[in-house]
């Protein structure tokens, strides 16, 4: 796939539907010419100035759309001082799909092509306005569902991750340069770097990379959200807790055990993490077919959960079902919660386990914090994770593998420097791929096709 940037593209940049204002974006070498035609104007637009114009029939908005017109404001961003690095004209009209589509059609009549999803941002990347991490961050920022997701995305947009990778890369580059210099002057027997130094330096790079990768698990959770499944025998209050956390009465609450037969899900913001809560049917050896099906679904849901909240009714002594479930989930990431704390305390041996009451709301804030901490670690909120994107995580893990190989090679007596160099260069290539210095066109196409049109 070829990425052309020498033609002009057009798209509605605002969300579909009606609104106070809608923006049509025209970008490319003939953006200004096309815009002037639409605006019915001979005089050039002044860069970064808002220009008022009235577009009416009789100009390019004619034909089938006779009589159509609007008052608009056009803003011209002259290359290279624009989002894409090319000329851009943004036409703000009233947010009517009919008007906006007519402007897009007029731009196409004037020679523009309809932009593909993410094509403006792709051009920004191809023109060196943003690296790939930053371009991807634009997509993440737009897609963010919680303030924390938006913060992580904006952090990447500002280049925090890019800078951290550049720091690691600089150390590696310096080491490669020294090793190559040693290779170039073999006869002098002079070495620019001792084998011990090589090993130590690679060790430092690996340590820095590991720090990034540790934060990455948390970052990914923030970016992609998590699935939290409620489990427990019937009537312990799973559905009640689900409803309290979801803030809506989605799950059915009754005092008849085994009422929840299907999985009920709701996406909620828990301390900035977009959490999909899943309420399951009671965990019991039921005979009812429908209920058994629900129980099975519950078991499957537990299998894919990032976290299981095992709910125990603390007003009743532990039953064998409770014990079985506690045992079955012991090796998974789970949180044990004692519900009905407003009633008598009939369980023992749980020590400081979280006590809550779905009825009174007691302990619910603690439960939220505990879920967030179990998912993303205690410092989820204090420290913004730099890596959140699985593409980045995978590439950095691959870089780490090459660095490990380099370190092993460096430590072996008599290994030729070329061997170490090959692995170090392979690691650097992975860093380059993260920021997009060398990224194949299919990867780019894949990244940008998830954008919305007009970005
Ligand atoms: N006293 C008290 N009753 C509760 C509490 N949570 C749930 N219940 C009641 O326990 C019964 C079963 O609740 P439900 O949420 O349907 O349990 P599930 O079967 O585990 O989903 C209902 O009558 C709820 O009103 C609580 O914290 N305190
Ligand atoms: Mg229920």
Q: Note the pLDDT of residue 91.
A: 97
> Pairing mode, if any, of strands 70-77 and 88-95?
antiparallel
Q: What is the distance in A from the centroid of ligand 2 to the CA of 359?
A: 14
The b-or-e profile of 350-364 (16+ CB within 10 A means b, else e) is: eeeebbbbbeeeebe
**Any ligand 1 atom below 6 A from CB of 342:** yes
Contact 266, 250 (CB under 8 A): yes
Contact 282, 235 (CB under 8 A): yes
Task: Kindly give, in sequence order, each residue whose CB lies less than 8 Å from that of residue 21, ignoring residues fewer than 6 positions away.
Answer: 14, 92, 93, 94, 95
Q: What is the distance in A from the centroid of ligand 2 to the CA of 243?
A: 10
Residues of the chain with pLDDT under 50: 1, 58-59, 62, 65, 283, 285-290, 380-382
Q: Note the pLDDT of residue 356.
A: 96
Taking CA atoms, 311 is separated from 318, 414, 445, in Å, by 11, 60, 45
pLDDT in tens, 394-439: 999 999 999 999 999 988 877 788 889 999 999 999 999 998 987 7
**Any ligand 1 atom below 6 A from CB of 388:** no
pLDDT in tens, 321-345: 899 989 988 888 899 999 999 998 8
Q: Note the pLDDT of residue 289.
A: 47
**Any ligand 1 atom below 6 A from CB of 253:** yes
Task: Kindly give, in sequence order, each residue whose CB lies less than 8 Å from that of residue 365, ignoring residues fewer than 6 positions away.
Answer: none
- Phi and psi angles of residue 135, each rounded to the nearest 5 degrees, phi first: -65, -40
Q: Note the pLDDT of residue 1.
A: 46
Q: Which ligand is nearest to the CA of 367?
A: 1
Longest dimension (CA), the chain: 87
Q: Note the pLDDT of residue 373.
A: 87
**Ligand 1 atom with least separation from CA of 255:** 23
Omega before 117 within 30 of 0, i.e. cis: no
pLDDT in tens, 208-266: 998 888 878 778 888 888 899 998 998 999 999 999 998 877 666 766 665 555 678 88
Task: Name the residue of 237, 238, 364 whose CB sits within 8 Å of the most ligand 1 atoms, as the mutation to test its pocket.
Answer: 237
**Any ligand 1 atom below 6 A from CB of 364:** no
Q: Which of 382, 377, 355 is nearest to 366 (CA)?
A: 355
Q: Distance (Å, rounded) from C-alpha 227 to C-alpha 302?
A: 9
Q: Which of 201, 223, 95 is nearest to 152 (CA)?
A: 223
**Any ligand 1 atom below 6 A from CB of 384:** no
Q: Distance (Å, rounded) from C-alpha 93 to C-alpha 216?
A: 42
Q: What is the distance in A from the centroid of ligand 2 to the CA of 345?
A: 22
**Any ligand 1 atom below 6 A from CB of 340:** yes
Task: Name the residue of 249, 251, 253 whose CB sits within 8 Å of the most ligand 1 atoms, as the mutation to test its pocket.
Answer: 253
Q: Which ligand is nearest to the CA of 358?
A: 1
**Any ligand 1 atom below 6 A from CB of 282:** yes
Neighbour order of strands in the sheet with 113-114: 50-55, 70-77, 88-95, 19-27, 9-12, 113-114
**Any ligand 1 atom below 6 A from CB of 339:** yes
Q: Note the pLDDT of residue 58.
A: 46
Taking CA atoms, 413 is separated from 43, 174, 332, in Å, by 74, 22, 44
Task: Kindly give, in sequence order, each residue whose CB lies less than 8 Å from that of residue 159, ignoring residues fewer than 6 positions away.
Answer: 131, 133, 134
Question: pTM for the complete prediction?
Answer: 0.72
Taking CA atoms, 89 is separated from 17, 246, 287, 377, 452, in Å, by 22, 43, 67, 45, 19
Q: Note the pLDDT of residue 16.
A: 87
Pair of tokens at residue 434 = 């993260």
Residues in the chain: 455
**Ligand 1 atom with least separation from CA of 343:** 1
* Geometric angle at alpha carbon 84, from 78 and 89, rounded to 5°: 45
Q: What is the distance in A from the centroid of ligand 2 to the CA of 228?
A: 15
**Any ligand 1 atom below 6 A from CB of 290:** no
């Amino acid at each position: 796939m070829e990425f052309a940037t020498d033609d002009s593209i057009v798209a509605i940049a605002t969300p579909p539907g009606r609104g106070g204002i809608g923006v049509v974006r025209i970008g490319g070498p003939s953006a200004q010419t096309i815009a002037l035609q639409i605006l019915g104007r001979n005089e050039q637009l002044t860069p970064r100035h808002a220009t008022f114009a009235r577009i009416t029939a009789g100009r390019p908005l004619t034909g089938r759309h006779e009589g159509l017109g609007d008052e608009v404001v056009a803003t011209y961003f002259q290359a290279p001082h624009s989002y894409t690095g090319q000329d851009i004209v943004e036409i703000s009209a009233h947010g009517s799909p009919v008007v906006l589509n007519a402007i897009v059609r007029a731009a196409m009549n004037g020679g523009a092509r309809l932009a593909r999803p993410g094509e403006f941002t792709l051009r920004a990347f191809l023109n060196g306005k943003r690296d790939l991490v930053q371009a991807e961050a634009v997509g993440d920022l737009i897609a963010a569902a919680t303030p924390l997701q938006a913060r992580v995305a904006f952090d990447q947009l500002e280049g925090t991750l890019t800078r951290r990778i550049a720091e690691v890369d600089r150390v590696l580059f310096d080491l490669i340069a020294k090793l190559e210099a040693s290779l170039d002057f073999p006869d002098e027997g002079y070495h620019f770097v001792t084998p011990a130094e090589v090993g130590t330096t690679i060790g430092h790079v690996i340590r820095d990379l590991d720090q990034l990768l540790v934060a990455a698990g948390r970052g990914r959770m923030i970016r992609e959200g998590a699935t939290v499944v409620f489990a427990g025998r019937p009537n312990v209050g799973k559905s009640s807790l689900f409803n309290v956390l979801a803030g809506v009465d989605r799950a059915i609450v009754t005092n008849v055990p085994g009422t929840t037969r299907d999985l009920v899900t709701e996406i909620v913001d828990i301390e900035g993490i977009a959490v999909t809560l899943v309420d399951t049917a009671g965990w019991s050896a039921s005979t009812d077919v429908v209920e058994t099906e629900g129980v099975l679904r519950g078991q499957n849901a537990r299998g894919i959960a990032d976290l299981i909240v095992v709910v125990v009714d603390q007003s009743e002594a532990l039953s064998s079902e409770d014990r079985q479930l506690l045992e079955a989930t012991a090796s998974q990431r789970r949180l044990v919660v004692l519900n009905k704390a407003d009633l008598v305390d009939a369980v023992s041996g749980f020590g400081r386990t979280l006590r809550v009451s779905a009825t009174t709301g007691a302990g619910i804030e603690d439960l939220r914090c505990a879920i967030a901490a179990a998912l993303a670690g205690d410092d989820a909120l204090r420290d913004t994770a730099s890596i959140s994107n699985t593409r980045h995580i995978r590439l950095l893990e691959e870089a780490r593998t090459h660095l490990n190989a380099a370190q092993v090679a460096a430590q072996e007596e008599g290994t030729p420097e070329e061997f170490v160099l090959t692995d170090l260069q392979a690691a650097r290539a992975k860093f380059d791929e993260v920021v997009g210095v060398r990224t194949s066109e299919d990867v780019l196409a894949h990244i940008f096709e998830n954008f919305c049109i007009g970005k």
